[in-house]
Structure 1
Amino acid sequence: MNRTILLDNARAEIFEFNNSTDVTEYHIMIHADEGTFQQQLDAVLDAYRYVREQELSGATAVFKRYFLSDAANQADEVLMADVSDCAKSIIEQAPLDGSKIALWTYLMTNVTTRQLPSGLCEVAHGAFRHLWNASAHNTAINSEYQTRLLFNEYIMQLAQEGCTLADNCIRTWLFVNDVDVNYPGVVKARNTVFYTQGLTNDTHFIASTGIGGRQQDANVLTQMDNYAIAGISKEQITYLYAPTHLNRTSDYGVSFERGTRIDYADRSHVFISGTASINNKGQIEHPKDIVKQTHRMWDNVETLLKEADCDYNDVGVMIVYLRDIADYKLVNKLYEERFPDKPRVIVHAPVCRSGWLVEMECMAVKATNDKKLPSF
């Protein structure tokens, strides 16, 4: 169920998944309207508090991402204003509606949360511990070394929780400062680390988005967010390929999955990686045509969702990345026409290949009834 709430100087788009079990899930996308950054930040946080307390029965935030227009001058203000203990991702990817800030929050009912000694944020319910990590970064000499250090640290954090990268990590996000220059180093580091961890084309990779994004410190070339599940079994995980529309990422030298489905007794979660206008030969479809690229991208995502036994009705949140800010009005119109009520944000963030003008990722959830599996 989707709905939109208009508040003072802010708009909250809400997706609700309620299958009458213990855990109801929500995605909220909050957009600011106008004013100084402080005024917009206050409006976003006021809207978040109102929606959480009045509309969502006090659901608990399990993950947040702030999209900022100028992280160097805004990130500290966010950190001081939001002291919640869930994983918080803060990245400069300017919302293209003209605002300075947008907030995506993922919430659940009847879960417990805590910050672990490992540095990961735990969300616990039933047999599973969901481990979130956000805004990890360092200032090593280049993007390759920064990415290696990020993964090495994350592997050690997972080990403290009895987990491994190969068995438990479900999703990563890699935000790359000046992606056209620094992405090759990120790819090289990820390929190397994955190989040492037993992640190969013959085993599996991890759903991921690698996209342009800037941390508040200009010396940070790569920032990483992660999601892992302690207690998950291999039988619950399905990797999505959509071979009629997409190729294997390893065909062009990178290592991530197009999408991943996690099955529980009562629901399935689907994580669609950053997806662009590409064909099953790894070639860019419709070069320089933003409209046709958007439609092909939608087709690719739809095919991945179908492979996961889902469709766009099951999608809880969409994040759309544009290389050229001048394409915003046209792309936003296309989304308004096809997905008028879907929580989403469109941000300025160049895709990892310069010919791709637009990319999107999404998360979906669908009710199931498989008593052979543990409940969420």
Structure 2
Amino acid sequence: MAGKLREISVWDDGTGTGERFFCMTAEPGGSFEEELHSLMDRYRESGGDGGDEFLLRFHVSDPARQSELLSRVVKGRRSYVSIVGQPPANGSRVALEAWHLGGMLGKSKEETEEGTVLVARRKHYRLFLAGRRTAAVCGSHDQMQEEFRWLDRVAAAQGGTVPALVHRTWIYCRDIDNNYRGLVEGRNESFDRYGLSPENHYIASTGIEGCTETPGRLLHMDSLGIAGLKQGQVRYMEAPDYLSPTHLYRVAFERGARIVYGDRSHYFISGTASIDAAGNIVHPGNVKRQTVRTLENMRALMERSGGSLSHLKQAVVYLRDWADRDVVECALMDSPLAHVPHLLLKAPVCRPGWLVEIDGIAVNGAGDSSFAPL
């Protein structure tokens, strides 16, 4: 499957500050070490070893056994590295996604026992990725609150607060059918503490099945922050006639966030499923029709925000049951995602009735000259 799919996309305006996105899945059949080295060779040969690497996220089949070797392979890398237990749906042991930012003036990476923070400096902005490495408390509710308390300290070190600086999170939840409610309640209470509401908006997010190598760690979160934004640069993506605001079913995250710069826009689409304007599951039990509806919802979000699905640069497709992979991939090949690098992973969604979820990053040239370029 990997050889048939587009694996790299580029946004480039010719100024040397372009961006590249990679989505690559190993060919199945080898040991983890063999598949990992083959995948990294392919990534390197495709230009993935440059100093502009910002994010490198691995999706693996067995993090308890594989994380030690993977950590050795990527040791010393000057980018933010994330390892998530989400098996590739093609039966291989490892897949990767990467985001490269051209034109960085510098990068700094701080790794402590508590977590990792990677800061990329541009002329007018600082983009940072952050993730906690350990859990000192038990239960998904308390661990979710712990994640945000640690992120509070990260944001303060960047000169702001979580609501002001953090605009995208990816939350991975071990055994989501049992632990998602604690995630939701812990996040809701954290957002209440920040004073966030449907009126002044939450943070774009994906909350999905995923695990670390540590069995007692029920949650971990990757967060993207941006320092230097002015009022009006963050715009929230909505299509309420297609998919409901999340607070209607008592969760708190934005459907997507558009960040407008002088030269481009970034679109961070949260995990999106087959949902309607009232918050109901559409096409229960039919994974093909759920995939089509999910794409319709994503299209509506993009088009209401000055973009289109053709502006997607990468996507991650999460399946509850990897037996559905061929049906879902066939539906994707009949959509704009046929031309977008994407991964297909086994990762159940927050409600058992949702069989597929998709998130993604889009970039286009719809900037606003009243703001500084990225």
Query: For 1:180-214, what per-residue CA distance to the aligned partner results, in whole angstroms no more than 9, with x for missing partners?
Result: 10000011110011111121122110000000011
Taking the aligned partners of 1:210 and 1:233, their CA distance within structure 2 comes to: 28
Taking the aligned partners of 2:307 and 2:134, their CA distance within structure 1 comes to: 34
Q: 1:160 to 1:351 in 2, by over 3 A?
A: same
Q: Matched residue of 1:75: which SS?
A: helix
Deviation at 1:368, TM superposition (A): 3.0
Q: Is the Cα contact below 8 Å between 1:136 and 1:224 reproduced in 2?
A: no
Aligned counterpart, 1:358:
356
Q: 1:325 to 1:210 in 2, by over 3 A?
A: same
Give the counterpart of 1:61 among 30, 49, 53.
Answer: 53
Q: Aligned AA for 1:47?
A: R
* 1:305 is aligned to 2:299: no
Aligned counterpart, 1:93:
86
TM-score scaled by length of structure 2? 0.94
Give the counterpart of 2:246 among 223, 242, 249.
Answer: 249
Q: Is the Cα contact below 8 Å between 1:175 and 1:222 reproduced in 2?
A: yes
Q: Matched residue of 1:64: which SS?
A: strand
Aligned counterpart, 1:151:
148
Query: For 1:337-362, what per-residue CA distance to the aligned partner results, in whole angstroms no more than 9, with x for missing partners?
Result: 32333100010000001110100001
Aligned length: 367
Task: Report matched runs for 1:282-321 at 5 Å.
Answer: 282-321=279-318
The range that moved more, 292-301 or 28-37, is 28-37
Query: For 1:237-286, what per-residue CA distance to the aligned partner results, in whole angstroms no more than 9, with x for missing partners?
Result: 10011011011111111000001100001000000000000001011111
Q: Aligned AA for 1:184?
A: R
Q: Is the Cα contact below 8 Å between 1:65 and 1:105 reproduced in 2?
A: yes
Task: Report matched runs for 1:112-123 at 5 Å.
Answer: 112-116=106-110, 119-123=116-120
Deviation at 1:369, TM superposition (A): 4.7
* 1:270 is aligned to 2:262: no
Q: Aligned AA for 1:351?
A: V
Q: Is the Cα contact below 8 Å between 1:317 and 1:362 reproduced in 2?
A: yes
Taking the aligned partners of 2:109 and 2:146, their CA distance within structure 1 comes to: 22
Deviation at 1:41, TM superposition (A): 0.6
TM-score scaled by length of structure 1? 0.94
Q: Is the Cα contact below 8 Å between 2:317 and 2:343 reproduced in 1?
A: yes
Aligned counterpart, 1:51:
46
Q: Is the Cα contact below 8 Å between 1:136 and 1:150 reproduced in 2?
A: no
Q: Is the Cα contact below 8 Å between 2:2 and 2:27 reproduced in 1?
A: no
Q: Matched residue of 1:120: which SS?
A: strand
* 1:133 is aligned to 2:136: no
Identity level (%) = 32
Q: Matched residue of 2:47: which SS?
A: helix
Deviation at 1:139, TM superposition (A): 4.6
Q: Matched residue of 1:340: which SS?
A: helix
Query: For 1:121-141, what per-residue CA distance to the aligned partner results, in whole angstroms no more than 9, with x for missing partners?
Result: 101111100010136441522
Taking the aligned partners of 1:49 and 1:290, their CA distance within structure 2 comes to: 35
The range that moved more, 277-286 or 106-115, is 106-115
Runs (5+) with no aligned partner, structure 2: none
Deviation at 1:59, TM superposition (A): 5.3
Task: Report matched runs for 1:31-46 at 5 Å.
Answer: 31-34=25-28, 35-46=30-41
Deviation at 1:292, TM superposition (A): 1.0
Q: Aligned AA for 1:66?
A: F
* 1:195 is aligned to 2:192: yes
Q: Is the Cα contact below 8 Å between 1:13 and 1:341 reproduced in 2?
A: no
Q: Aligned AA for 1:230?
A: A
Q: Aligned AA for 1:104?
A: E
Taking the aligned partners of 1:242 and 1:217, their CA distance within structure 2 comes to: 38
Q: Is the Cα contact below 8 Å between 2:273 and 2:356 reproduced in 1?
A: yes
